[in-house]
Amino acid sequence: MSNTLLAIDIGSTNITSVVAQNDLNGKVNILGMGIETSEGINKGLITNIEVASTAINNAVQNAKRSTQNNIDTTLVSISGAYTKGLRSNGSVNVPNGQITENEINQVMQMALYNATIVPEYDVIHVLPIYFKVDDSQTIDNPLNMNGARLEVSVYIVTAKKTALINIQSAMKASGLEVTNFVLNGYSSAISVLDDEQKRFGTGVIDIGGSTTDFVCFKGKSILYNDFIPVGSTHITNDLSVMLHTPPNAAEMLKIKYGNLLNVDKDDDLAIKKVKIPIIGDEQNTKEMSLDSVQTIIHARVEETLMFIKDKIKESGMNDSIGAGLVITGGMSQLKGMKELASRIFDNIPIKIANPTNIKNGYFNFDDPTMATIVGLLLYGLDTNANFELDSNKTLRKRVAKIVEQPKIVKTQKQQTHAQSQTHESKDESALLPTISKKDKGKGMSRFWNKVSEWF
């Protein structure tokens, strides 16, 4: 039976809601989509439940407008701003010698039990980094393997209980129930990384409106996650304050003239100055050097990337990102982002990535601002789910694909021929003798003697 999923990305700029379904053959069907401006939300935290609930409800109702399907699962993203990560280990004996989902669940629960969880936090992910069976090397999937002992190393993501409760309250006010929470950075990593990047390990930087999430992703697990309270709206604020221009004009400057590359000042065709309105006197404009505008943007982006670099260095994750760094999110669209990041991160491979584009008739997901919502869809509708404990501390299981046998439609001539063959076979069975168990004991000679008598 197909699972109808409602995915909600509560971002710092927009709330995106998508209703989708999986036909259990790897195809995601988009049934509806809604986008609303984030209100009552600050850096991923609900600051006004009533206002936030209205915005969430509007986004959800717009998404559900084109479908009558009942929602089976509701996934909601949670910002890394209110999360902490830690590692743990667990081991269990395998009584029957063969590892089943029951033993995998037990060893994951044991790893969670062995972890020291801060009382003010609740678990949203328990991700297996690797398994071990007896004294074997590390393995990804121990299901159906034989052994006497199963071990696991896990990465646990926890989030502030108050943040989770506030999101749940806002959802309930809209008549919605949260099935599971998914870390923003984890979701984005699922949507932008290919198999090779996952295998060798990659750092994913998702720069949103007012937040930046960073995760180190390897295999099918996070090894580290972090956050800084800086995003693309800070560029807008910097331009507005330093140029004394209204925020909407500053946003236009950022989008239209944002450039992190060195501009050729000797180019006579290049734009040197722009006119911008003045705060408090929007009717009049003033000329501003474009070089000044780009200097302000460059300073903020450079600072953001330097913060991320320092956090990666402090975490010791440099050796775990063999495939380099992937940058996504709204700020990744700034011209020259790849070149600036390559310089700051000492020539570590840098890629600017859009999420996997789910083809549909509603919306184009080939946009870096859609990374989290696409990741939620791929996470919730994955038929080959990773063995992990979700925010309900329940083991996510793989779903067997339903393969329908093709129906063979016979022509009238084929049916008539088949019927005649069946009739002939029945006649032959009536003429030819069968060999009873008693006859078999006496060998085949009596059978051939019997046949020779007919002739």
Is residue 364 a contact partner of residue 374, using CB atoms and an 8 Å limit? Answer: no
Does residue 435 contact residue 442 with C-beta atoms inside 8 Å? no
Confidence of residue 427 (pLDDT cuts 50, 70, 90): very low
pLDDT digit string, tens, across residues 32-86: 999 999 998 887 788 899 999 999 999 999 999 988 888 999 999 999 988 999 9
| Nearest to 185, CA basis, from 118, 127, 257 | 127
Same-domain pairing of 151 and 201: no
Instruction: Say which amino acid occupies 89.
Output: N
User: Are 130 and 202 within one domain?
Assistant: no
Closest CA to 285 of 236, 244, 343, 345: 244
Give dist(CA 206, CA 371) in Å, integer: 8
Q: Please, are residues 306 and 232 in contact by the beta-carbon 8 Å criterion?
A: no
Q: Report the amino acid identity of residue 412.
A: Q
SS3 339: helix
Last residue of some domain: 303, 320, 352? Answer: 352
Whichever domain contains 92, its CATH number is 3.30.1490.110
| 193: Cβ contacts below 8 Å, ≥ 6 apart | 202, 204, 217, 326, 353
343 and 274 together in one domain: yes
Residues 108 and 223 in one domain: no
The angle subtended at Cα 370 by Cα 365 and Cα 376, nearest 5°, is: 100
| Across 336-358, average pLDDT | 92
Q: Bridge partners of 233?
A: none
- How far apart, in whole angstroms, are the C-alpha atoms of residue 125 and residue 220? 12
3-state secondary structure of 423: helix
pLDDT in tens, 318-331: 888 999 999 999 89
- Work out the percent of the chain whose per-residue pLDDT is above 90: 60
Q: Are residues 203 and 324 in the same domain?
A: yes
Tell me what the mean pLDDT of segment 290-306 comes to. 92
Are the CB atoms for 54 and 176 separated by under 8 Å?
A: no
Residue 237 lies in a domain: yes
The pLDDT of residue 441: 42
* Per-residue pLDDT tens over the stretch 394-425: 999 765 544 444 444 444 545 545 454 444 44
User: 336 with 212, same domain?
Assistant: yes
pLDDT in tens, 144-200: 999 999 999 999 999 999 999 999 999 998 788 999 999 999 999 999 999 999 999
Q: Answer yes or no: is pLDDT of 454 > 80.
A: no
Q: Are residues 41 and 8 in contact, defined by beta-carbon separation less than 8 angstroms?
A: no
Query: Residue 314: what residue type?
Result: E
> By the 8 A CB rule, do 77 and 17 touch?
no
Could you tell me which residues are beta bridge partners of residue 6? 19, 74
Q: pLDDT by residue (tens digit) across 248-294?
A: 999 999 999 888 987 655 555 567 788 899 888 877 888 888 888 99
The CATH number that applies at residue 201 is 3.30.420.40
Asked if 331 and 231 touch (Cβ cutoff 8 Å), the reply is yes
Residue 90 maps to a domain: yes
Model confidence at 444, in pLDDT bands (50, 70, 90)?
very low
Structural domain contains residue 178: no
Q: If you search the block for the tokens 């050097």, which residue do you land on?
A: 289
Angstrom distance (rounded) from CA 239 to CA 22? 44
**Whether the Cβ atoms of residue 131 and residue 138 lie closer than 8 Å to each other:** yes
**More confident site: 126 or 440:** 126
Q: Is 15 inside a domain boundary?
A: no
**Which DSSP state fits 444?**
S
Does 200 share its domain with 141?
Answer: no
- Pairing mode, if any, of strands 41-42 and 45-46? antiparallel
Confidence at residue 270, expressed as pLDDT on a 0 to 100 scale: 64
Would residue 360 count as lying in a domain? no
For residue 378, CA distances in Å to 94, 150, 439 come to 32, 29, 64
CA distances from residue 60 to 63, 66, 335, 391 in whole angstroms, order as listed: 5, 11, 33, 22
What's the CA gap between 445 and 455, in Å, rounded? 16
Instruction: Quote the DSSP letter at residue 408.
Output: P
Number of domains forming the structure of the chain:
2
Rg (CA), the chain: 31
Among 157, 188, 222, which residue terminates a domain?
Answer: 157
Q: What is the pLDDT of residue 425?
A: 42
Q: What is the pLDDT of residue 413?
A: 47
Chain segment 239-249, per-residue pLDDT in tens: 999 999 999 99
Angle at 167 between CA 161 and CA 173, to 5 degrees: 130
* Predicted pLDDT of residue 284: 82
Q: Which residue reads 């909600």 in tokens? A: 8
Q: How far apart are CA 178 and CA 164, in angstroms?
A: 10
Q: Are 421 and 405 in contact (CB under 8 A)?
A: no
Question: Which residues lie across from 288 on neighbouring strands?
Answer: 274
The answer to whether residues 190 and 385 touch, using CB atoms and an 8 Å cutoff, is no
329 and 217, same structural domain? yes
| 51, part of any domain | no
Domain boundary pick from 352, 380, 398: 352
**Same domain (yes/no): 200, 153:** no
DSSP string, 366-397: -SGGGHHHHHHHHHHT-TT--S-B-TTS-B--
435 has pLDDT over 50: no
C-alpha closest to that of 17 among 69, 77, 70: 77
If asked whether residues 340 and 293 sit together in one domain, one would say yes
41 inside domain: no
Whether 228 and 333 share a structural domain: yes
Q: Is residue 171 part of a domain?
A: no
Alpha helices in 268-357 (DSSP H): 290-315, 337-344
Same domain, 326 and 217: yes
Q: Please, are residues 149 and 133 in contact by the beta-carbon 8 Å criterion? A: yes
> Domain residues for 120?
84-157
What is the distance between the alpha carbons of residues 148 and 91, in angstroms, rounded to a whole number?
A: 11
